[in-house]
Chains A and B, each alone.
Chain A
């Protein structure tokens, strides 16, 4: 056994984690190496000093005072959580309805702005063009121009004799 191994075993022995057989070998080592026996004592002191230090410093508050503080904190958190639960529970239905209403309203607004305008409205909005004459080379064609009462559109109607039209090569 070398020094490092002996010291590792010392640490384990202090913690009660060394087997009986190794402990026996360690005792033999310590008997032959007094400087490691000193180290053993010092390591023991470290443990007892740490325990003494911790025991010498009691909590600043008694456990009853500490519990009062903890309870107050828990109550605060419970109240906050309760408010949140209410918000997320019964009022969630209201919040949901409100959100749905908002979505519908936004949709309607958007639709009213961006949906293509109906033809009749479009025509009504553009500058009217006055039809002054209609020229066609269809023989016997008779143009008719009138304003449709329903749509407001200016309708140009050309009527002609079908037989004469075919004779002049306007088929199809």
Chain B
């Protein structure tokens, strides 16, 4: 099977995706490549919201897709393929943040200045069109800082809701927690972000 892979980020219909998944499960790397190309950007966005660093999100996205390939035989097709992928990606993101936090505690207890390129820094450099810049870099920096104060779990919930647009039940399933936990984490995350951003409004 030769799936059309030239058109990046094209959303294919569910039947095509299913065919690619089945082919990939049978070992067809071309079919898997089509899936990767279709969803790579979304997985990257999800991870970027969680890890807040473009380079880390890129590396992590690659690791996630390698992990997905290895676990592909366990995908039963009960859920949508991307739903299954973002669950893996979310846990990979959470793992990464936890490890990074532990590393920071060990390596930079006193004078850690933050990652080399934060989302705010990358955002300000990428947003080159003046009409697109509706807020100042300082606000972006404050937003990124506020996001960084959230625990990995709270950040994951916020990203899954606001970036992925998932419903509470889907988030609960993805994070293997209760719906009520999702609800309270979102409420807390919003309160916390709003408090942290208060001075910048």
Contacts and interface: CB of A to CB of B under 8 A. Distances in A.
Contacts of B193: 46
B57 A59 contact: yes
Interface residues of B, number: 51
Interface stretch (A65-73, A143-151, A162-170): A65-73
Contacts of A11: 183, 186-187, 190
Q: Give the interface SS of chain A, mostly helix, strand, loop or mixed.
A: helix
B157 to A, nearest CB: 10
A66 B40 contact: yes
A55 to B, nearest CB: 7
Contacts of A46: 143, 158, 162, 190, 193-194, 197
Interface residues of A, number: 36
**Most chain B C-beta atoms within 10 Å of own C-beta, residue among A53, A57, A61, A74:** A57
A49 B163 CA distance: 10
B16 interface: no
Nearest to A15: B161
Interface string A1-33: 000000110011011110000000000000000
B5 to A, nearest CB: 8
Interface of A: 7-8, 11-12, 14-17, 39, 42-43, 46-47, 49-51, 53-64, 66-67, 69-71, 73-74, 77
A39 B190 CA distance: 10
